């Protein structure tokens, strides 16, 4: 991807996060970049291309992270800790894109929509399996895996809202303390 296209995508992510995908026009994006709207089309085909790129890039980061965690021979508890760390890392490094993923994924079209849904379902199923493995090994309490996953993902999916308002020290505290807080209630 060219430097200019990266700048366009980065700026679009900020605008989509602030106003929502539907409220942002190509003219808005061009104005934020201080270029003519027609010039944008030299680099991108439209908003849908940007949305697809933002969402699928983040979704693949989660998928790749999950795959790496699954390959580890760690306990289910250690894997859950690593997944919490993965969410924090992605929220810190891709705050705007993660916001777009969480709020605007339903605007994806066609194959991009299908790919995102498949990646999301697979991630959730893999996370459930780690929790189930933890129950079976006695690391986690015998609770509903659905409830456990809902609790974990509800918190993890909203980290991007908290990150921009906090200092580096507070983020470091989050990285250290959130796994303890989230997993204490399900730990055997």
Q: pLDDT tens digit string along 150-160?
A: 999 999 999 99
pLDDT greater than 90 at residue 166: no
Kindly report each contact of residues 162-170 with a partner whose C-beta sits within 8 Å and lies 24 or more positions away, as own/partner: 163/91, 163/92, 163/95, 164/95
CA-angle at 95, arms to 174 and 47, nearest 5°: 165
Backbone phi and psi for residue 145, each to the nearest 5 degrees, phi listed first: -60, -35
**Considering the chain, what is the average pLDDT of its residues?**
94
pLDDT greater than 90 at residue 163: no
- Determine contact, residues 60/119, Cβ cutoff 8 Å: yes
Q: State pLDDT tens for residues 59-96.
A: 999 999 999 999 988 999 999 999 999 999 999 999 99
Supply the pTM of this predicted model. 0.91
Token output for 182: 């989230």
| Number of residues that this document lists for the chain | 188
Give alpha helix (H) positions in 42-144: 47-71, 76-93, 95-104, 110-136
> What is the mean predicted confidence (pLDDT) over 41-54?
93
The CATH code for residues 48-184 is 1.10.357.10
* Among the listed residues 47, 56, 44, the one whose alpha carbon sits nearest the alpha carbon of residue 28: 47
């Amino acid at each position: 991807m060219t430097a200019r296209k990266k700048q366009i995508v980065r700026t679009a992510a900020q605008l989509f996060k602030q106003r929502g995908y539907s409220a942002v026009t190509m003219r808005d994006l061009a104005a934020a970049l201080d270029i003519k709207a027609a010039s944008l089309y030299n680099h991108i085909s439209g908003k849908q291309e940007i949305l697809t790129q933002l969402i699928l890039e983040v979704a693949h980061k989660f998928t790749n992270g999950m795959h790496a965690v699954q390959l580890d021979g760690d306990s289910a508890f250690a894997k859950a800790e690593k997944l919490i760390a993965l969410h924090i890392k992605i929220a810190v490094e891709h705050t705007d894109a993660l916001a777009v993923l969480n709020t605007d994924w339903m605007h994806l079209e066609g194959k991009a929509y299908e790919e995102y849904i498949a990646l999301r379902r697979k991630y959730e199923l893999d996370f459930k399996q780690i929790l189930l493995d933890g129950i079976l090994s006695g690391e986690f309490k015998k609770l509903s895996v659905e409830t456990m996953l809902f609790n974990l993902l509800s918190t993890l999916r909203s980290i991007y809202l908290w990150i921009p308002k906090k200092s580096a020290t507070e983020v470091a505290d989050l990285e250290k303390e959130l796994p303890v807080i989230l997993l204490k209630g399900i730990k055997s």
